[in-house]
Amino acid sequence: MNPEEFRKAAHELVDWIVDHQARIPELPVQSQVRPGDVAAQLPREAPVTPEAFPAVLGDLDRIVVPGITHTQHPRYFGWFPANATLSSVLGDIAASGLSALGITWQSAPALTEVEEVVVEWLRELTGLPSSWRGVIQDSASTSCLVSLLAARERATGYSETRGGLQAEPAPLIVYTTEHAHSSVVKAVALAGFGKDNLRVVETDPWTRAMVPEALARAIAADVAAGHRPTAVVATLGSTGTTAMDPIAEIVPIAAGHGVWVHVDAAMAGSALLLPEMRWMIDGIEGVDSLSWNPHKWLGTVFDCALLYVADPEHLVRVMSSNPSYLRSTVDGEVTQYRDWGIPLGRRFRALKLWFQLRLDGVQAIQDRLRRDLANARWLAEEVGSTPEWRLLAPVDLQTVCLRHEPADITDPGALDAHTLAWADEVNSSGAALVTPSTLDGRWFVRVSIGAESTSQGDVAAVWKILRATAEGLGRG
Amino acid sequence: MNPEEFRKAAHELVDWIVDHQARIPELPVQSQVRPGDVAAQLPREAPVTPEAFPAVLGDLDRIVVPGITHTQHPRYFGWFPANATLSSVLGDIAASGLSALGITWQSAPALTEVEEVVVEWLRELTGLPSSWRGVIQDSASTSCLVSLLAARERATGYSETRGGLQAEPAPLIVYTTEHAHSSVVKAVALAGFGKDNLRVVETDPWTRAMVPEALARAIAADVAAGHRPTAVVATLGSTGTTAMDPIAEIVPIAAGHGVWVHVDAAMAGSALLLPEMRWMIDGIEGVDSLSWNPHKWLGTVFDCALLYVADPEHLVRVMSSNPSYLRSTVDGEVTQYRDWGIPLGRRFRALKLWFQLRLDGVQAIQDRLRRDLANARWLAEEVGSTPEWRLLAPVDLQTVCLRHEPADITDPGALDAHTLAWADEVNSSGAALVTPSTLDGRWFVRVSIGAESTSQGDVAAVWKILRATAEGLGRG
């Protein structure tokens, strides 16, 4: 969808929203549909080619609106007031349109600082102590969990850094590699396993992939010590170098000990839309769960992360809660997604996926992913064939890990300083943005290709910029 | 903000978004602002009266855009591709405009069923096993935590239902009441305390508030047994009857044992904008954390939950992760909100609060909250003075708990059937929506007042409907 198509469609959607809000008082408060009615009206497969916007908008009226209980209705006296003031809807639209990435202060300073200011406004307005500080979460469920985790750690003197909550001598053990995402260590701590019970399994020095024999040895050692191997977190497309842990070899090792295999394919998952990339998930039949984020490379506006599980009944048993005020006569016939994760309340995130797949069509998305893969291969070849530049990892996806290694800089510390200096010069200029990262304790630069608007020309241009900046400083 | 004001503003915002997207290639990729630059441009207090939309829109250009690192820029090669296709932005706008409440299947059947269909589309498109099922989460961080919790429970035979992960004989203990939200029990299980280590403290039979002496006795008994009292979750405005646990009496009891006090004011927190309601937080100085949800009564479009803490450094120490690719030179000078909760990536949720407070102004919000409180008091008086109708709890907030008790229905089971029958008739008719719930094992009906559009006339009308329906069935 191009900007002018968006403009036209968004204006129509705005008018639709206002008209929809105006007719809410005439609609039944409680949705009258029966279990399965909505799903039955949708095709079983995503469209390959784009649909026209009027068809999608029409389906909001035909399929979606009858399937909503209207908490904005003047005669809504259910659960709790769940309003959506039009002023806040505007702010939400602005947030979608800006699509800021809130991962660090630097990634969107305004996202952090506007949040600091407005939570302070509301602290003042609600009479909370002036020394307190606030943050926005998705739900009170998450807030409560976060607070209890904080309480747990205060009571135990930060047990997460030691043995977690666990009773020796038979702790539960989790396995991953040093290239796994930081959220794995965090999850191990938050879930009470304790960081001491996370095993960092050896990886191949070039591919950075988990060495299956090392996993087998680690599990065997734990079993011998009376510990309980519990989970392996395998990564497809590590954040640093897009390393690919070999699922097909990990699964049989884990299966022998009843170990849960979770696959973190947060960024790489989008590539699975390309049949030629499915080699990544060889062995998937023996995996227990896999997550990937359409809000990354696929391009769904943040936030939208998919979690798939082999055994949903088990997940629900762990996550469910069933208070009387949420019980209904259809409980056995429907999916209650509140029991599939942490928050009770959930946004209608599926709409953005539904709109994207219908309005863009699968084929155009696949074409874009293939373009990015080709651009990454092109850059990798350039780096590999240019003197004093080095490729630091295989380029299986869209990320190129590189370093400028001038012959006259032989000291590793000096090379680190050189890397950080030229990367900072590139980034501060505003002309392009690349990410410095470390591998074996040394800095290098990641060039992650895949912005929707990035053409081959942009990749050629950034390569010119990197060379000019680094080689210029190298001679300085 | 009324619908026509919204229509005009939203059209302007749509054009602004398209124009903004068009000029991204000319903007610096990385934000050039320094720590504090954005916050310094915002007033220190929320506006009392409404601001005009052009002022807010102007501030997007003047303050927000310079404070964003543009991941949609064609020369963005940082962290990972963080696209926002315009087709998915449209879907996100539709989700905001529809403002469906995703807490149960019934609250928005379309929200659940469209999600089921699109995650199945993507399962098929990515070649995952056909027996798998999926769900949308906010981030891969949450997906990983959820998966490790599932793994933990499989390895231990559902330890959450027993002692959690904890080592006897000195488990950590959490205290709450039976009227606390279901998410408290869930958080106790997920955080590894174990449900056996949750103490359900006695409540007053009329107010349903925690009895402080009972809390003191429970803590003393645990201390005597060698257990470790760790946290009290006090509720302001319980989901069932808006019960108010007495913070001022709970705090000194907890403080004597170093126990963390978390206050769950999810719905009631909005009322703190009214100075006359601040009695709820008497004793707040001794509390450790408090959460409330602007996405409930205040009316911020879902999702937006505030968590305040007395000691942010402790929270950050528990929640932080600091991988090399997220490090920056300003780390000591700025807030890194990724270290204040579970997900690494976060949406720009502050914008909807910022827009709402500026476009509506605090005074109009306060007026609306007061209107709802008055409407609830009116209904409570009606119920209290009508034969065969009974009020089941004090009406301190905007929820009225009532039951129709015809003289000829004396069997408690028959009365339950009567209650469920008339509530179902009301809800199925589509004319109004109320929520059946239980108290002391018996069904009653909650009338939760506070939809933005609910007038005194609507409350009078629903009372008429309830009487006609219940009294009609009672005579049948």
Tell me: the pLDDT tens digits for A319-370? Answer: 887 766 666 777 778 898 989 999 999 999 999 999 999 999 999 999 999 9
Please indicate, yes or no, whether residues B181 and B301 belong to a single structural domain of this protein: yes
C-alpha span between A431 and A413 (Å, rounded):
27
A141-169 pLDDT tens trace: 898 898 888 888 888 787 765 667 876 67
**Co-location of B158 and B266 in the same domain:** yes
A49 touching B, CB under 8 A?
A: no
Nearest residue of B to residue A316, measured between CA atoms: B150
> Confidence class of residue B304 from pLDDT cuts 50, 70 and 90?
very high
CA distance A270 to A296: 8
pLDDT surpasses 90 at B362: yes
What is residue B162's predicted lDDT score, i.e. its pLDDT? 64
Instruction: Determine, yes or no, domain membership for A160.
Output: yes
Q: Both B312 and B202 in a single domain?
A: yes
Of B312, B333, B354, the residue that ends a domain is: B333
B224 touches A: beta carbon within 8 Å: no
Structure tokens at B250: 């709970």
Q: Is B69 on the interface with A (CB under 8 A)?
A: yes
Model confidence, pTM: 0.93
Q: Domain check: are A219 and A256 in the same one? A: yes
Domain C-terminal end among A326, A358, A390:
A358
* Mean pLDDT over the full length of chain B: 93
Which of B59, B72, B85, B331 should one mutate to test binding to chain A, selecting the residue with the greatest count of A CBs within 10 A?
Answer: B85
Nearest CB among B7, B106, B262 relative to A14 is that of B7
**pLDDT above 80 for B136:** yes
Band of pLDDT at residue B325, cut at 50, 70 and 90 = low
Lookup: tokens for B474: 């009672």
pLDDT confidence band for B169 (50 / 70 / 90): confident
Q: Which of A114-123, A124-133, A164-173, B403-412 has the lowest mean pLDDT?
A: A164-173
CATH number at residue B233: 3.40.640.10
Residue A73 to residue B451, Cβ atoms within 8 A: yes
In-domain check, residue B351: no
Alpha helices in B342-407 (DSSP H): 350-360, 362-384
Which amino acid does the sequence have at B450? G
Identify whether residues B319 and B380 lie together within a single domain: no
Burial of B98 (0-12, 13-18, 19+ CB in 10 A): buried
Residues B91 and B222 in one domain: no
pLDDT on residue B241? 96
For residue B323, the model assigns a pLDDT of 67
Number of domains in chain A: 3
pLDDT value at residue A325 = 62
Does B163 score more than 80 pLDDT?
Answer: no
What pLDDT does B194 receive? 87
Share of chain B above pLDDT 90, in %: 83
Quick check: is A122 in a domain?
Answer: no
Contact status, residue B211 vs residue B204, Cβ threshold 8 Å: yes
CATH number at residue A68: 1.20.1340.10
Strand partners, A327: none
Which residues in chain B are contacts of A116 at CB distance < 8 A?
A: 39, 335
Residues A198 and A91 placed together within one structural domain of the fold: no
Tell me whether A468 touches chain B (CB under 8 Å). no
Instruction: Supply the pLDDT for residue B158.
Output: 74
Percent of chain A at pLDDT > 70 equals 97
- Does some domain include residue A87? yes
CB A68 within 8 A of CB B99: no
Which run of H or of E encompasses B229?
Answer: strand B228-235
Here the contacts of B311-319 (C-beta below 8 Å, separation 24 or greater) are B312/A133, B312/B340, B314/A150, B314/A153, B314/A154, B315/A146, B315/A150, B315/B339, B315/B340, B316/B340, B317/A153, B317/A158, B318/A149, B318/A150, B318/A153, B318/A158, B318/A160, B318/A189, B319/A146, B319/A149, B319/A150, B319/A186, B319/A190
User: Are residue B380 and residue B324 in the same domain, yes or no?
Assistant: no
Tens digits of residue pLDDT in A337-351:
989 999 999 999 999
Asked whether residue B128 is assigned to any structural domain, the reply reads no
- Do B254 and B389 belong to one domain? no
Cβ of residue A302 closer than 8 Å to a chain B Cβ: yes
Nearest CB partner across the interface for A133, out of B164, B309, B323: B309
pLDDT for residue B111: 93
In the predicted model, what is the mean pLDDT of residues A43-70?
A: 95
Task: Work out the mean pLDDT of chain A and round it to a whole number.
Answer: 93
**CA B270 – CA B295 distance, rounded (Å):** 10
Cα A307 to Cα A310: distance, rounded to the nearest angstrom: 10
Tell which of B292, B312, B333 closes a domain.
Answer: B333
For residue B137, being part of any structural domain is answered with no
Average of per-residue pLDDT across B168-189: 91
User: A229 pairs with which residues across the strands?
Assistant: A173
What per-residue confidence (pLDDT) applies to B324?
A: 66
A144 with A216, same domain? yes
Cβ atoms within 10 A of the Cβ of A464, count? 11
In this structure, the answer to whether residues A51 and A146 fall within a common structural domain is no
Strands A289-292 and A305-309: antiparallel
Q: Please report whether residue B358 resides in a domain.
A: no
Whether residue A22 lies inside any domain: the answer is yes
Contact A450 B81 (CB under 8 A): yes
- The answer to whether A169 faces chain B, any CB pair under 8 Å, is no
pLDDT tens profile B4-46: 999 999 999 999 999 999 999 999 999 999 999 999 999 999 9
- Can you give B19-52 as a three-state secondary structure string? HHHHHHHHCCCCCCCCCCHHHHCCCCCCCCCCCC
CA distance B136 to A306: 5
Q: Mean pLDDT over residues B371-379, rounded?
A: 98
Test mutation, A114, A373, A378, chain B, max B CBs within 10 A: A114
Q: A288 vs B74: CB contact, 8 Å cut-off?
A: no
| Domain span holding position B429 | 363-475
Sign of CA dihedral B270, B275, B280, B282: positive
Test B454 with A75 for CB contact under 8 angstroms: yes
Q: What is the pLDDT of residues A442-468, one digit of tens each?
A: 999 999 999 999 999 999 999 999 999
Of A77, A314, A335, Cβ closest to residue B432: A77
Give the CATH number, domain containing residue A370.
Answer: 3.90.1150.170
The C-alpha angle with vertex A450 and arms to B63 and A47, in degrees rounded to 5, equals: 105
Report, as an integer, the average pLDDT of A225-231: 94
> Looking at residue B165, what is its pLDDT?
81
Overall average pLDDT of the A229-242 stretch: 96
E strand segments, A19-125? 76-77
Residues B38 and B174 in one domain: no
- Answer yes or no: is pLDDT of A7 > 70: yes
pLDDT of B156 over the 90 cut: no
Is A248 an interface residue toward B (CB < 8 Å)? no
Asked if the model's pLDDT at residue B327 lies above 70, the reply is: no
Q: What is the dihedral of CA A434, A439, A442, A448, to 10 degrees?
A: -10
pLDDT in tens, B196-223: 899 999 999 999 999 999 999 999 999 9
